[in-house]
Structure 1
Amino acid sequence: MAHKKWLACLGVVFLLGGCASTPAPVFYTLDNGIEQPGPQGVAPSIVITQTNLPELIDRPQLVTRMANNQVRINEQQRWGEPLRRAIPRVLAMELGRKLDTGRIVSVPIDAQRIDADFRLSLEVQRLEVVEGRGADADIVWRLESRHGKVVLGRSVLHETERSAEPSALIAAQRRALAVIAAEIADQVRRWQEAAK
């Protein structure tokens, strides 16, 4: 009987030791958390109404694409917020900087009644970190003007980052979103010029 109690106690010690050795997860955000000077302009207004993501990255863990069609789902490295909310929010911030306007917001799909000069929806094909290479982005976007004119665009790019540090790879993803924001901003400017 004493032998069984000793074994049970030993099992509890091993179990507690295993729990104690598991590192706590680290949480990341897609933005850099640095306050930027506010935009000075007032136009145009853009509402980002919808963002769809592939299931591969629509999860709390950071996902790294590796060689031989493999991916690593990093259980100890996690997003602080869902990417389906973070991507449009960061894109809205970048668009605000490019167009010098504070009238760009991202909202859930059920908040479609917001009045805006432009409506933007995103279909994310890829926004991945690739081991040893950086970040790959492929986003199809649909921009609709207040008057019903629509343009479909697709931004495909690669941001090089040799570091394997998660924060450096996330910074590469953020840089990719800044480039995509610049492409969308160019389309908005073209429409504004044509309307003059």
Structure 2
Amino acid sequence: MNIRRLFLFTLLMALGGCFRNSAPIHFYLLEPVAATQTVSAISAGVEAPVVGLRQVRIPAYLDRPQIVTALSNQEYKLAEDQRWAERLDDTVTRVLAENLSNLAPTERIVIHPWPAQQRVDAQVGVTIQEFHADAAGQVRLSALWTLTAADGGPAQRKFSCRQPASTTDYARIAAAQSACLGELSRAIAEAVRALPDVAPATR
């Protein structure tokens, strides 16, 4: 066997070993609130408001398929074999919309971009500032959110949630993140319930 063939053989064996030793990739999704936690619809005879949900904004450090955890206040880890099954901003937006349809007094939740002719009585915007498990194994969610009704300007509010989770069990981390997102959804739903029964139409 000449040197070139020996090199290729060695390279193929090394690559084969890498593939055999690579850990399987696990994928996760956030979960909406359980059906038993839903609230009843608004009073009979009152038209439910249409709530428009804008795409949730996430910070750049979370905008990646790998699940991010903190090793310290300054150092973060990307888990190559523990990943989101879809874009994190997409899954947060989708689950938040489902939560609001369960928790707010309306099932009429539309996600931006909605059709130009769609009537929207109020709009919700969410900007996440942090959403990860910290070095102590506690999930942290910090966010700014706004609820804009047709009869007034946006009111920006702050939200913070802490849930016990894990530093290594990513299923527990995802479950705790789902719980925090559920708490954020409840805060927004409470504000939606405080809106007038039917606000004037907006676009």
Structure 1 CA distance, aligned partners of 2:153 and 2:5? 76
- Relative to 1, partners in 2 of residues 1:3 and 1:89: Cα closer, same or farther, differing over 3 Å? closer
For structure 1, which segment, 54-63 or 2-11, has the greater mean C-alpha deviation from structure 2 after superposition?
Answer: 2-11
Give the structure 1 partner of residue 44 of structure 2: none
Q: Is the contact made by 1:39 and 1:96 (CA closer than 8 Å) also made in structure 2?
A: no
Runs (5+) with no aligned partner, structure 1: none
Give the structure 2 partner of residue 169 of structure 1: 173
Give the structure 2 partner of residue 76 of structure 1: 81
Give the structure 1 partner of residue 5 of structure 2: 5
Structure 2 CA distance, aligned partners of 1:158 and 1:138? 9
Give how far 1:95 is off. 1.5
Q: Is the contact made by 1:143 and 1:152 (CA closer than 8 Å) also made in structure 2?
A: yes
Is 1:96 the equivalent of 2:108?
no
Give how far 1:105 is off. 3.1
Query: Tell me, what secondary structure is at the counterpart of 2:131?
Result: strand
Give the structure 2 partner of residue 50 of structure 1: 55
Give how far 1:192 is off. 3.0
Query: Tell me, what secondary structure is at the counterpart of 2:94?
Result: helix
Give how far 1:149 is off. 3.8
Alignment of 1:1-196 (within 5 A): 1-2=1-2, 4-31=4-31, 36=35, 41=41, 43-67=48-72, 69-108=74-113, 111=114, 113=116, 114-162=118-166, 164-192=168-196
Q: What's the % identity of the aligned pairs?
A: 25
Of structures 1 and 2, the one scoring higher in RCO (CA 8 A, sep 6+) is 2
- Relative to 1, partners in 2 of residues 1:3 and 1:14: Cα closer, same or farther, differing over 3 Å? same
- Relative to 1, partners in 2 of residues 1:190 and 1:39: Cα closer, same or farther, differing over 3 Å? closer
RMSD, matched Cα: 2.7
Deviations 1:78-107 (A, max 9, x none): 111111111121111111221243211333
Give how far 1:40 is off. 6.3
